[in-house]
Amino acid sequence: MEICCSSSRSCFELALDFLGLIDKTFHYFGDVIYELEIDVRLLQSFDLYLTKCRRRRRNHKTCLEQDKEEKDVTSFRIQNLIIRRMQDLEFACSECLIPSHLAGLTQILRELTRFREAIKLFFERHIKEPCINFLLEYYWLRDPELVIDFIDSVSKALAKMNGFHLERLVENLMFLKSFILFAMLRGVKGQQLIDLLIHGEVVAINALHLASVWCFHTNKEVQNETELQMTRLIREKINPGDPQVRESYIHVLTAAKLSRSSDTSALEKNKHLVVDFMDYLVHNIKELLKSCTSTPVPIMNQMLKFVEGLRFLTILLRHQEKFKELCHEMKNLIGVVSCDAAVVIFSLSLNQIKEGLAKETDLALFHLLKALKFIRAEVTDPVTSFSPFGFPRTNELGCMDFLLENLKELESCNEADDSIAFPEDQIHTVLEDLVFLRSFLAKIVDQRNRNGKLQSLWSHVMEVAHRAEFVIDSIVVGDKHQYLERVASDIQLLRTEALETYDSTRHDYEAQRTNQKSFRIEAKRSTPVLNEVLVGLDDEVKTIIHSLTRGSKLLDFVSIVGMAGLGKTTMANRVY
């Protein structure tokens, strides 16, 4: 059964319109009318909640019928208060025939003041904390449209009020609204959606209550305490700092991630909902990073790459033509990445960023950055536009070696365990072709900076290697293999291009290669082994690694010195 509501809520809109008319006509009551408009909007939001709530379908023996009747009376009292005070105000205005007549203006001011006092008294008597707790215990909105309307109403009322804490509260309420809309767009249903809606309504009603306390109490101590409660509400119930709230958010995002609809038309029509949600995510993580004055450089670099990746997604979503060109799988991946990004941000804390990420968060961020790299590589031209998410410019060959070692280990695991469903032939081909390309890059490492074709080919190989790394990692965590065939084809084409490019530039370097044998790229499956030139230096390598990982926690340097040709660079690569 619904709480009884009036046939119309137009009394609030009529009151606001009439107050605006008084302000324009008499020009004497600016501050009083401004404050009274805020009071009316606060009361309007509370009335909206009362009139749209539904009784919870639970067996509470203590929830007696007179409780319901009391709530009906409260809703009736709210609208009756507005109507009665408006009648007195209209009468006072009608008696003031001359706008500048002092007695008439005094009577209008008296009625405006009575109006404010009546609303203040109503909040103090009937909308106290026990009343809020009673409503949250026995009633709910539940319907998504009603919850969103209520959040909008509260946000609109608070936006009219001045104060830093109130502004932050409005921003966070809008974030909660965007979260609900995003979850619905991603197909979240059932208990996860209901839990999120109930959470949204709990936060909104508490925000409304705190705003009313702040508004009607001029005592500085009361206002300061109310501001602390607003901060706590934002930090614990919206951001979220409370473990239960965080768990609830992650459940919703997990459901959103798993709800992979074959129809992306909803996403195309409502991209702005994803953009709004991601804008708030970027804002949240930027605010968090502002407080991190002593963050380790590697973690800060990760966070900055993360923020840049999310910004790129928002730009892509706003670009109508670019987004239309994406395939279905890529559009769905963007939705999944949005969910994963929110999980990472909700899992972060100030202490984690300062002292080191938790293992689960670090792993999730690692895979998320790879996904962002992959999306960017699909959208941009990898040859003419170098992606900042690609292999690092320093020690690119070392990253290739690391990828090849992982591929070899993956292939051996696949042979030993039939339960790992990997396409063996494709993995084998990718591994052989990458070994070939790695050997080729080693041959041209000194020449590429002097030849545009070789430099372009080098960049192309690195970009495709990065894409291969992401695809392989995706398969490891259980994703489909739809991108592996494409990456394998790209790598095969690069192998052919490498031979052709080298043949076309080889004659320019014949004079420099008189003491070398004719160029022959190793086609056998063997990763370049750095140990070949490190015979007798194992102890030195161990010493350097020990100094870097277990030495002083302060900034320090480890120098590698010696004559040319001793293998200093190779040793550094090995340590890296």
pLDDT, one tens digit per residue, over 364-396 is 888 888 888 888 877 753 323 333 334 444 456
> Of 314, 145, 174, which is closest to residue 238 (Cα–Cα)?
174
Is the pLDDT at 425 greater than 50? The verdict is yes
Measured CA to CA in angstroms, residue 360 lies from 241, 246, 356 at distances of 18, 15, 12
Q: What tokens does 464 get?
A: 């495709």
Q: What is the pLDDT of residue 129?
A: 81
Is the CB of residue 495 less than 8 Å from the CB of residue 409? no
What pLDDT does 151 receive? 95
- Return d(Cα 358, Cα 361) in angstroms, integer: 5
Looking at per-residue confidence, does 407 or 157 come out higher? 157
Question: For residue 145, what pLDDT is reported?
Answer: 93
Distance, in Å, from the CA atom of 312 to the CA atom of 295, rounded to the nearest integer, reads 24
Please compute the mean of the pLDDT values over residues 545-549 and round it to a whole number.
75
Give the least confident one: 89-93, 163-167, 331-335, 358-362: 358-362
Reported as type and span, the H/E element at residue 54 is strand 54-55
pLDDT band at 243 (very low <50, low <70, confident <90, very high): confident
Tell me the average pLDDT across 161-189: 91
Terminal CA-to-CA distance of the chain, rounded, Å? 68
Q: pLDDT class for 61, splitting at 50, 70, 90?
A: very low
Share of the chain above pLDDT 90, in %: 20
Instruction: For residue 55, give the H/E element and its range.
Output: strand 54-55
Specify the pLDDT at position 35. Answer: 92
Q: Is the pLDDT of residue 526 over 80?
A: no
pLDDT category of residue 207 using cuts at 50, 70 and 90: very high
Q: What is the pTM of this model?
A: 0.62
With a cut of 50, say whether residue 30 has pLDDT above it: yes
What is the DSSP track for 107-143? Answer: HHHHHHHHHHHHHHHHHHHHSSHHHHHHHHHHEE--S
Whether the per-residue pLDDT at 529 is higher than 80: the answer is: no
* Higher-scoring residue by pLDDT: 65, 481: 481
524 band by pLDDT with thresholds 50, 70 and 90: very low
Pick the residue with more confidence: 189 or 565? 189
> What residue spans of 186-319 are helical by DSSP H?
190-216, 220-232, 243-258, 265-269, 271-290, 297-318
Mean confidence (pLDDT) of the chain: 77
pLDDT for 353 equals 65
Whether the CA torsion 35, 40, 43, 45 is positive or negative: it is negative
Residue ranges of domains in the chain: 10-237, 260-379, 396-513, 530-575
The predicted pLDDT at position 516 comes to 46
Query: Has residue 246 got a pLDDT over 80?
Result: yes
